[in-house]
Amino acid sequence: MPRLNPESPLRTLMETFPRAGKLEWIGLRPARRAPLQSFNHVEVVADHGLAGDHKAARSGGKRQVTLIQREHLDVVAKLLGRDAVDPALLRRNLVVSGINLLALRDERFRIGDVLFEGTGLCEPCSRMEEVLGVGGYNAMRGHGGIIARVLEGGVIVLGDAVGYEKNPA
């Protein structure tokens, strides 16, 4: 998406959030197709991803970290006729709440002191049928979250604030 003029009224609206969000859950997969393991904190490595996650072994790329919005887990659960959906089933690394994650898709944002850049949508895959049951793929469509790369590393901890970071001019 091309950057809007920084003086544009639409750009100003896109940079204005009602409040910061919150990091609710952290999950890592030590190997491909391995179940996600939940953690209270994790080291985030610039240009790699989350230390201990199998995807962090490679540098570069747009899909270093996957994020999903907590509020969307409730929607997916309702669409499936369930009371709740365990975030570990969805193969996303981070669950955040209180901020519109889609609005951060092509933007820079911070979780705690770590700087990320949203690089695209995290579309559901056919594994959603396996882990969620019949219709799991369609229940996740439009609710899959975003992918991001890590610009500045550090440690993130459950409860850290999630917020928009203005791009340098």
Domain assignment of residue 114, given as a range: 20-156
User: pLDDT tens-digit profile of 12-65?
Assistant: 787 877 789 999 999 999 998 888 999 999 999 999 999 999 888 787 889 999
User: pLDDT tens-digit profile of 61-70?
Assistant: 899 999 999 9
Report the CATH number that the domain containing residue 129 is assigned in CATH: 2.40.33.20
**Residue bearing tokens 């889609």:** 102
User: pLDDT tens-digit profile of 88-143?
Assistant: 999 899 999 999 999 999 999 999 999 999 999 999 988 899 999 999 999 999 99
The pTM of the full predicted model, rounded to 2 decimals, is 0.91
Residue 5 belongs to a domain: no
Strands 65-69 and 94-97: parallel
- Give me the pLDDT at residue 4, please: 66
pLDDT band at 2 (very low <50, low <70, confident <90, very high): low
Taking Cα atoms as reference points, which of 72, 118, 99, 90 lies closest to residue 160? 99
Q: Is the pLDDT of residue 6 over 80?
A: no
Q: Is the pLDDT of residue 8 over 90?
A: no
Residue 71 belongs to a domain: yes
Residue 93 belongs to a domain: yes
CA distances from 153 to 112, 142, 169 (A): 10, 29, 21
Residue 139 belongs to a domain: yes
Q: Is 151 helix (H, G, I), strand (E, B) or coil?
A: strand
- Give me the pLDDT at residue 7, please: 78
How far is residue 67's CA from residue 96's CA, in Å, rounded to a whole number? 7
Residue 60 belongs to a domain: yes
Q: How many domains are there within the chain?
A: 1
Residue 9 belongs to a domain: no
